[in-house]
Structure 1
């Protein structure tokens, strides 16, 4: 069973899928089957594993775990006819987006001030520039961490984002002031102090690339230091919420300027590196103000009909 699972993951990754979370969950399922000495994948076993989460009783979480087992079972059934494929009506999948925190300009100022107070000075410079870049570009956190100096076109003010979430590359034009800020960070004396072991733009005090798996910890400390909080019942503000804030702010600006938002959505989708425009359409409900502007535009359009 484990060999089949590893072969399956290798095949999918060779086709360009990263399967980071999927792979972890699938191997967890294999661990469960082995621990219970099960040599055949059954619906009962898949359901039992999917719901065996002592820290969570969230049915959406359960359904996503079961979906991993179901997808693998469809593949395995071709190789082993005894395999059960869990029916789709068992823990039906529900798609749910976490309500994002939309940062205000004042909150950005407070976070930049808090980042500037970090020590040593290189850490402060790194975090101020890192947060500012996320705010003005809408890049994913991992994309900013993976950005190399060679990916910055200082003459044409373009960033090249490589090997993104969906294995693609894209070019992102940015404002000249953004390029100036990156250049100032790279030229800062503090950045030249450690021996740099990486071509990355953003480095740690050890001269290594900023690790996207560790940055949430520092950012959470900055959030606590500034006193920024989410409304009751919502998740604490995250680094990824800068991406949401960038998108919503862009859409708000377009609506206020009276441009054809529908025509420009594919531009925004491409700029953000979304796999398709439907991921960008979701942002139309990203804030009450944006939803109100969209509704107003819709009412105006219907009002012009005979």
Structure 2
């Protein structure tokens, strides 16, 4: 447990029972009704505990005493202690969400957070790789892989059914050693991240049965439990073929289950390890510091620059709001401006 988590828990325990119960009930609502992730629920709880700790210091010991002045005072204190605009915007959103829920639940006589304003969060343009840089990154593992004939997708097992577990049947024919399987795993990870633009947690959460080789799509479980199908191209298919035929059977173990991507000990690949893999290959290729999210940014930008529809990119990325996708149009415009300044004689 981190120091901030311990501090939040201590403040939570020190709250009056009514406020502590309200925080716990809201957290349960977020988790069970809204189907929010553990990380999202933790962020909301941290913000609310901070708000109620401030309210108690102001003499507000009952939820019914919570009003707009307390909310504004809390945000003002956050700003004076150096909180960034993005943090202030998130905390204000947490307060508004809680107040709306508490009003619906009958805990507040009015939705006191509805009038709470917050600073517009400054959104920096994401850094993206050029197409040639992304290709160099994704091709990095191929320099460690012995070229082989890739079997057609039709020759692969039917992954819509229950996949055969090589741990029970023995190593598949043509399987390589565990050490040699690592670049095959790295290659398919990089190919999928760039080809589909999925989040690293979504890529690591894929099962073998989530891959439809015939239609070249993967079934992804995104934020809020929303499921979507995302297509991928021929290079990713070749990487998948190699990994499933030669790589995964060499790394599979008793704890592998149906996980598509495996770690060194045979369990499901951890997102932290996946980030390290991407960073290591970017460094080896002499590229700027890159993360899986950077590959996601790059995939979205290259799709739009290639003429893809904004709504289609929204669906591919799994954004619930089009506003989240529109930032990539700004990236494309910035690139256009840079090219104009460099090339036009009267720029």
**Which bracket does the TM-score occupy, shorter chain normalised?**
0.7 to 0.9
Structure 1 residue 198 corresponds to structure 2 residue 198: no
Q: Is the 8 A contact 1:121 1:190 kept in 2?
A: no
What residue ranges of structure 2 are gaps of 5+ in the alignment? 1-18, 146-177, 341-347
**How far apart, in 1, do the equivalents of 2:27 and 2:225 lie?**
16
Q: CA deviation at 1:290?
A: 5.9
Does structure 2 conserve the Cα–Cα contact (< 8 Å) formed by 1:157 and 1:174? yes
CA drift of 1:216 comes to: 2.2
The residue correspondences of 1:44-193 to structure 2 (distance < 5 A) are 46-47=74-75, 50-51=78-79, 57-76=83-102, 78-80=106-108, 85=113, 87-89=115-117, 91-110=118-137, 112-113=139-140, 120-161=179-220, 163-189=221-247, 191-193=249-251
Retained in 2: the 8 A contact 1:111–1:226?
no
Q: Which of 1 and 2 has greater Rg? A: 2
Tell me what 2:301 maps to. Answer: 248
In the alignment, is the contact (CA less than 8 A) between 1:103 and 1:242 conserved in 2? no
Q: Which moved more, 1:199-208 or 1:123-132?
A: 123-132
Asked if the contact 2:262/2:268 (under 8 Å) is kept, the reply is: yes
Q: What secondary structure, in the 3-state scheme, does the structure 2 residue paired with 1:215 have?
A: helix
Task: Note the C-alpha offset of 1:146.
Answer: 1.2
Query: Structure 1's 86 and 174: CA in aligned 2 closer, same or farther, altered over 3 A?
Result: closer
* Whole-angstrom CA distance in 1 between matches of 2:127 and 2:23: 35
Q: Structure 1 stretches of 5 or more lacking a match?
A: 230-235, 255-260, 296-306
Paired position in structure 2 for 1:6? 24
Instruction: Indicate the SS of the match to 1:69.
Output: helix
Distance change in 2, residues 1:178/1:227 (3 Å): closer
RMSD: 3.5
Q: Displacement of 1:157 after TM fit?
A: 2.1
Could you say what secondary structure the match of 1:287 adopts?
helix
- Of residues 249, 262, 266 in structure 2, which corresponds to 1:207? 266
Alignment partner, residue 227 of structure 1: 286
Deviation at 1:135, TM superposition (A): 1.4
Contact 1:73 1:85 (C-alpha < 8 Å) held by counterparts:
yes
Across the two proteins, how many residue pairs are aligned to each other? 276
Cα drift, residue 47 of structure 1: 2.5
Residues 143 and 110 of structure 1, relative CA distance in 2, 3 Å threshold: closer
Q: Does 2:322 align with 1:282?
A: no
Deviations 1:249-278 (A, max 9, x none): 222222xxxxxx6xx332332233222444
**Structure 2 counterpart of 1:23, from 41, 57, 60:** 41
CA 1:62–1:268: 2 relative to 1, 3 Å? closer
Return 125-134 or 213-222, whichever deviates more. 213-222
Instruction: Return closer, same or farther for 1:267/1:190 CA change in 2, 3 Å cut-off.
Output: closer
SS at match of 2:292: coil
- Structure 1 length-normalised TM: 0.74
